[in-house]
Structures are given as structure tokens and as C-alpha cells.
Structure 1
């Protein structure tokens, strides 16, 4: 794999010629071990080439936003937990209940789905220990089958998780592509990360200031400006019939809402509230 440069396009310069001659190549196992690597170019100095610098320090961009995961539905008690928490929220507004539901969902995820790799490693080590002991009675066989079943279940959950994080459409069905999905998700994270930003002619690397400038840019972009109201003269617009006017104001039925929701793709990226369509459909 050829790691992309994050801060420049070229690494070699000679008069008016420039090219990206220097590169860093890594294998798949290396990217799995160090998913947060960044490749940057150093100062050129007297040489025609820029030195390449690898940085693996993970940038903390603040608290992670909430995101519903498809792998949660493979847990036997997940839907029961969601229904109980939903009932406990009472008769509040739908959007308010969704926002309040994120708190127990975060806690449930931390208690049940955190450290998937660690759980798999524990199961595999226990299976290897059973095999190495050489004892094949009924109790050992039952324990071995249970551990194998747990391993399969957690591998499916891990694959679902990384497939959702990668947003890959190359493999529609589950086909043991966990490593592929993991690498795609890591590459997306590296490409989407903003390490530095040119602000008023100066290169800024402070993450707090970068976030503030981005927020200010979009706040100014979508700011509502004063626009004088223009009225329609009598007779300029044809009036619609009363029946048509009433039909426009009728609230959509439950069947129409359900049909609109079910027409949306389940694996689409979640909205600002963190819930994707798969969560809405199943819960």
C-alpha cells in the first residue's frame, strides 16, 4: 500500500520540475497495527528531495459523536433493552426521546460491545488450551463447541461493525472480508482528517482553532440575510380549490411514513442524531 501525503503533492524539486518520487510502502498487517498513521513531508533544505516523516500520534478531536451500530442487533437482549428504555422515557416528543436514548445506548455498548478483539483473543486462547490439554470427555467437548459458537458470533459482529464503518458497497453480503473493511475504514479516516488549515495566509495546526474556523465559515455561509418581502398582486396567482388546499394540509398517515422510511437504504450514513435507517426500521 502506498501511503498518501497529507500536506503536499510533490517530494522532489529541480528548477521548474517537480514530482512525487519518494514514497512509503507498507503492508496490510502494518496498517492494522498502526491505523492512525500520517505521512508528511519535512523541510527540503539543500537537497532536491523532501524527507518523509511518519507520525502515528492519534489526534483527539474531542468526544466521539453517537452512532448507532448494525452489530448491536446480533445481541439477544438488545431489542428488549431498547423497548424498556423507550417506555421509561414516557410521552415525550419523538426527537427528544431519540436524543435521550443515546445515554443508555452508550452505556450498553460499553458494557457489551467494547474490546471485541480482546474478547475474541480470550476465546481463541481458551480453545487452544482445551486442545493442548488432550482431554476429550463430554464436558470438554461441550465447552469446546460453546467457545467455537461464541467465536463465530463475535467474528460476525466484528465484520458487521467494520463493514458499516467502511461504507463499502463492493461486497453486498457477508463474505469474511473483515480485514478489507477495516483497511477501507482506516483509509477513510486518514483521508477525512484535517491536520492543518491555511487561515489568513498562515498554516495552523491547532485543532481547537481549526474547528472554530470551520464552524465560523459554515455559520457565515448559511446565515440568514434580510430580504424584503415581495407580495403578489391580486389575480397574479391562480387560487386553488378548497379541496386541494385541504389535501395539502393533511398530515401523512402511518402507512405513508412507513413506506417512505422503508424505501430508504438501511446502511446509509446516520444523520445528525446518530441513528441510521436500520435502527429506525428494526426498533
Structure 2
């Protein structure tokens, strides 16, 4: 039975094999597939030039549907991973501190929250802070150019190298250790993906 493409796996122990880089280089450079975004753009260009038939329109419709499904799946995965990490490492938001004292009983927390907002909405009017004559710092034009300019290869590389080598962007096992080791083979595609995101937002 065909279960579809097998998920990618990269074990750190493979990185120590002297033949590994060459194997990755040959496989990576031999791949000639197109991602879903490029296929949509090509079909869209044909539609603009009135070179589309009904089959082509249906194909683009299906690709757009797949793209939306993939985006929703990725979003759900990131949300769940963020939630799991927060539950393990973050505050569970089940306690409240007021005037140096902690409250963790549900009824007490509710009462304190209610008391706080009651004071805010029905308490005496307080003089608000005015910022009319405050001179805020502004960035210089050179900094603005850097902020809105195209992301450079060096910036992408710094971002990759700032991540732990045992961390992964998804469940498929392609961790940052693999990306760092094979950076020369992969960087062109990674940077192209970053620039596509800058331009298309997807």
C-alpha cells in the first residue's frame, strides 16, 4: 500500500560520516521539483494571457485549495507546539498577586479581578498622563533603510546559527544541525524561500 512520501529524517550521527555531505549535495542538486507556489504563479500567468482552458483553471483551483490546507495545518502545528512549550515552561495563569500576597484559589482570584476592575470603572477620576510636549526619539534614515530593505544572506545565516542545532522547524526531523552542516548546498533555496515570503507573504 502506498502511504505517500516518507518523512525526512536526519540523525546527528550521520553528520560524522565523511561521505554524508557529498551524498546530500548530489541529492539536493539533482532535485528538480517545483513547489506549490511556483506552480500557482505559472498557471496564473497563463490565465492573465488568456491561454487557460477549463482543465487549467480546475488545476489552479485545486492547488490553491491545497495551499490553504497546508497553511492551516502548519499554523495549527505551530500553535500547538507553542502551547505545549508554554505549559511546560511558562506561567499557567492560575495565580494572582495583589499587594505582595499570592492567591491561587479560584474564588479568591475571581474576587480580586472583579475588585480591580470595579475600582477602575467606578473609582474616582484620575488625572491622565499627557504626552503632547514629549519629544520621542526617531530612527535615522539609514536605520529605516535597513528595517524595510531586503533580508540579506548574512541575516538569514545569523538567524539559522542563533538556533539550537537540535531544534527543528517541524516534525520531519530536519534540524538546524543538518541545515548548518549543509548550508552551502541549501542556502540558495532557503534564501529564495525567505525572499518569496517577503514578496508574497506566504
**Do they superpose with TM above 0.5?**
no
Normalising by structure 1, report the TM-score: 0.23
Normalising by structure 2, report the TM-score: 0.31
Say which structure is richer in strand. 1
Say which structure is richer in helix. 2
Higher relative contact order (CA 8 A, sep 6+): 2
